[in-house]
Chain A
């Protein structure tokens, strides 16, 4: 079984400032890791994913995340945020084997970008 911890429920940041949203996971098997974004009153959209290979992955809208196996982390970063980045961000994990493609989500981080 896997679990995900997103310690920050809310992250306020000014426009054009950098941001990091933290995600830690727990798993007894190798994992795939994901970040999803949910804009107000919308469904979830995949932002980026780590499957294997390079630990730094780049996604849409200028976001990137780094997989750190020793620290079991997959923090999301953006060097300069925009008002339109205001949304809920979910980190998710899936075991590489078994589980039937079951995604386990964290509790989400509300990113609020202010002028």
Chain B
């Protein structure tokens, strides 16, 4: 029973292409996140959605567009891919990020390589 799943696991593509990464969680959580881990393993949040509403949007190029069709899914679409987009992208989910603590559960990651 996978809690947070991502597809594909590996993605190799050419510069300039448009690609999507899908994320699904079966934990019944209200909030989902996208993180980017660069080649030096630095992990930084990109977006967060709560019940399909954007609540965190870090300084990410507008070539990156998250899409949440329902609260169990948060997909990441990337237009005009650049070499610098090569990274591992992690999806995560948690309960509503209101007062108090809610653990984030991470997916296995998608390794994107832009050639």
Contacts and interface: CB of A to CB of B under 8 A. Distances in A.
Contact of B41 (A43, A88, A97, A103): A88
Contact of B107 (A43, A49, A105, A107): A43
A104 B56 CA distance: 13
Contacts of B109: 42-43
A105 B42 contact: yes
A31 to B, nearest CB: 11
Given A45-B106, A100-B48, A107 B97 contact: no
Interface in B6-33: 31
Interface residues of B, number: 25
A108 B42 CA distance: 7
B83 interface: no
B77 interface: no
Contacts of A32: 101
A102 B29 CA distance: 16
Interface of B: 4, 31, 40-45, 48, 50, 55-56, 90, 92, 94, 97, 99, 101-104, 106-109
